[in-house]
Amino acid sequence: MANPISIRRTYAGRHVLLTGASGFLGKVWLVMMLDLVPEIGRVYVILRKKALQPARERFEKIVASSPAFAPLHDRYGADLGRFLVERVELVDGDLAEPDLGLDPAVARQLERDVDLVIHCAGLVDFDPDIRDALTTNVDGTEHIANFVERSDHAALLHISTCYVSGTRNGEIPEQLIPDYAPDGHPFDTELERRDARASIERILADHEGDEKETELHKQALQQIRDRGLNPNNSMLLRNITRRLKRQSIKNAMIEEGQRRAYKRGWPNIYTYSKSMAESLLIARKDRIPRMSILRPAIVESSMSYPFPGWNQGFNTSGPLSYVLGTWFRHLPARNNNPFDVIPVDYVARAITIAGAALLEGCAAPVYQCGTSDINRLTVERACELTALAHRRHLRDRGSTPIERVLLSRWDAVASDPEHLLSTENISSVADGFAKLMRGLPKRWPTGLHRGAERWAKKADSVRDKLNTIDRMLTLYLPFIYENHFVFHSKALREHEIEEPEFVVDTTDIDWRVYWIGIHMPGLRKWCYPLFEGKTPEKYVPKIPFSLPQQPAQAPSGAGLRGEAR
């Protein structure tokens, strides 16, 4: 084992460029470092202008409204603004653009000053528009790599995902494979990227053709007639046609991305694009010798930092756990399949360790950060714990007697996708029931027909909800049923860390305590409202926050490169 690493000494006076600071993981890492390692030099945060809102204004709003920043508000109170401008510099940029969209003078300063780049930004939707996936996850990574190559001395830590392995089953070691594809056949990342771009152009060209325009025009007219509107309203017709065209293009782009991913063995566009980004970086290893890739597994609610249960957004296990709190309780999953969940604060610590190892010159080429190798949570265990958490909540806080008495005793189980109570089977029953109600003999009384139509509409609603659930479950089947992944996470354990608050020891996770007492309450508070079309609880700091208009004098050791450290 190499010499112990002190996180505080290693980062003292060092300057870090961070992307993805507005995301779930990026926020937690930034707050953790500013709170627990105030010795850090300067953190440059690249944020894209949003609705013409400069990076400074976006960051100010994030700090003032995100619960992730609660530890800093609690520690510094009215002095938080001054503390932040001493250590954080906001940079207007855009990873999708060459040279990161930076002002040339700012770019040169960063190239001289930055010691470590943490590339945490990425599009994490499973199946987005392939244009967005390539632009953000692949092109953005290439632009970051170009920046690091031009810099005087910067190291690069790229945040990827364990699931770049695709449909490769079994033990997944910590290794980098150039031009990797899960199907094992030769793969040329640059050729794939060019070919994907050509497919995108073909899709766009097809949507400009007369045949497609005529088809969309007919669809728009039909929608107008179905709504009982005036089909001669040219402006209305034009607007609906444009909307249908945008949606048609997006659907075609998603289908093209899925086709490419499935063909080579990735379960979705996200893992396909993240794997391509890794291959792009591996090809530059000789030009960026101080580079590591960190692959987290399924990043979930915090164990303790910034506080227990913090979560953001509605990806990963959130949708699955949500539907298991409804009448749907048969999750299509294979027994004993690992469900590799890792709390977000553990991943933030892992980023800190890998970054320190890069700064110290002792980093591994790749780090995986998961739990399946030494503290395995299985899918059926997660399903059982989810049901227990829902039952406890419904007994105490169910909104109706049916929820408190009946639904609170309804177990959730892992089952085969073809189970009698699968979403597909129940949806078929609901569809058949609706048809039966609408097919009553015409000679029957009008009152019966009205009642039958009400029941038919309820059946339609059930079918639509089940179809939504079924589409969601299809996205998750590669992770919970079709494949069996065990991710080695040995490289992190090879580093001895002096500060115990930064050690990543996943054996200390008690899954029952975490899942029922921390994770599920966190989802219920921060994520489930999003699924229900509601707004999660707003965070308002005790003392109103704003950034000072003029940057304060940076503390000793936190200035630009070349100053005394």
| 275 in Cβ contact with 316 (< 8 Å) | no
**What is the C-alpha to C-alpha distance for residues 544 and 78, in angstroms, rounded to an integer?**
8
* Chain segment 443-469, per-residue pLDDT in tens: 655 665 566 566 556 555 545 555 555
Dihedrals phi, psi of 356, to nearest 5 degrees: -65, -40
What domains lie within the chain, and their CATH numbers?
1-183+266-297+340-373+488-504 (3.40.50.720), 184-264 (no CATH), 312-339+378-483+523-536 (no CATH)
Least confident of 192-196, 271-275, 352-356, 446-450: 446-450
**What is the C-alpha to C-alpha distance for residues 194 and 443, in angstroms, rounded to an integer?**
64
**What is the C-alpha to C-alpha distance for residues 496 and 502, in angstroms, rounded to an integer?**
10
Model confidence at 405, pLDDT cuts 50, 70, 90, reads very low
Q: What is the pLDDT of residue 562?
A: 32
Higher pLDDT, 94 or 461: 94
Higher pLDDT, 464 or 101: 101
Averaged pLDDT, 67-90 = 96
Q: What is the pLDDT of residue 176?
A: 96
> Which pTM value belongs to this model?
0.86
Q: What is the pLDDT of residue 563?
A: 32
The per-residue pLDDT of the chain, averaged, comes to 85
**What is the C-alpha to C-alpha distance for residues 355 and 16, in angstroms, rounded to an integer?**
9
Least confident of 51-55, 249-253, 524-528: 51-55
Q: Where are the alpha helices (DSSP H) in 12-114?
A: 24-36, 55-65, 70-76, 80-87, 104-113
Q: 184 is written with which tokens?
A: 């094992």
* Chain segment 275-308, per-residue pLDDT in tens: 999 999 999 999 999 999 999 999 999 999 999 9
**What is the C-alpha to C-alpha distance for residues 287 and 276, in angstroms, rounded to an integer?**
18
Averaged pLDDT, 314-325 = 71
Q: What is the pLDDT of residue 557?
A: 38
| 372 in Cβ contact with 487 (< 8 Å) | yes
Helix (H) or strand (E) holding 538: none
Least confident of 45-49, 61-65, 243-247, 380-384: 380-384
Q: What is the pLDDT of residue 138?
A: 98
Indicate the angle between helix axes 189-206 and 269-282, nearest 10 degrees: 140
Q: What is the pLDDT of residue 325?
A: 64
**What is the C-alpha to C-alpha distance for residues 97 and 253, in angstroms, rounded to an integer?**
21
**What is the C-alpha to C-alpha distance for residues 403 and 79, in angstroms, rounded to an integer?**
47
Residue type, 131: R
Dihedrals phi, psi of 437, to nearest 5 degrees: -65, -35
Q: 2 is written with which tokens?
A: 């190499």
Dihedrals phi, psi of 53, to nearest 5 degrees: -90, 115
Q: What is the pLDDT of residue 565?
A: 27
What is the DSSP secondary structure assignment for residue 136, as one 8-state letter? I
Beta strands in 301-433 (DSSP E): 330-332, 341-343, 366-369, 413-415
Q: What is the pLDDT of residue 503?
A: 97
Tokens 């699924």 locate to 531
Q: What is the pLDDT of residue 423?
A: 45
**What is the C-alpha to C-alpha distance for residues 488 and 373, in angstroms, rounded to an integer?**
6
Percent above pLDDT 70 for the chain: 79
**What is the C-alpha to C-alpha distance for residues 140 and 148, in angstroms, rounded to an integer?**
13
* Chain segment 493-539, per-residue pLDDT in tens: 999 999 999 999 999 999 999 999 999 999 999 988 887 778 888 99
Q: What is the pLDDT of residue 438?
A: 61
Helix (H) or strand (E) holding 486: strand 485-487
CA neighbor of 276 nearest in space, from 196, 169, 179, 183: 179
**Half-sphere exposure for 338 (CA within 13 Å, toward CB):** 22
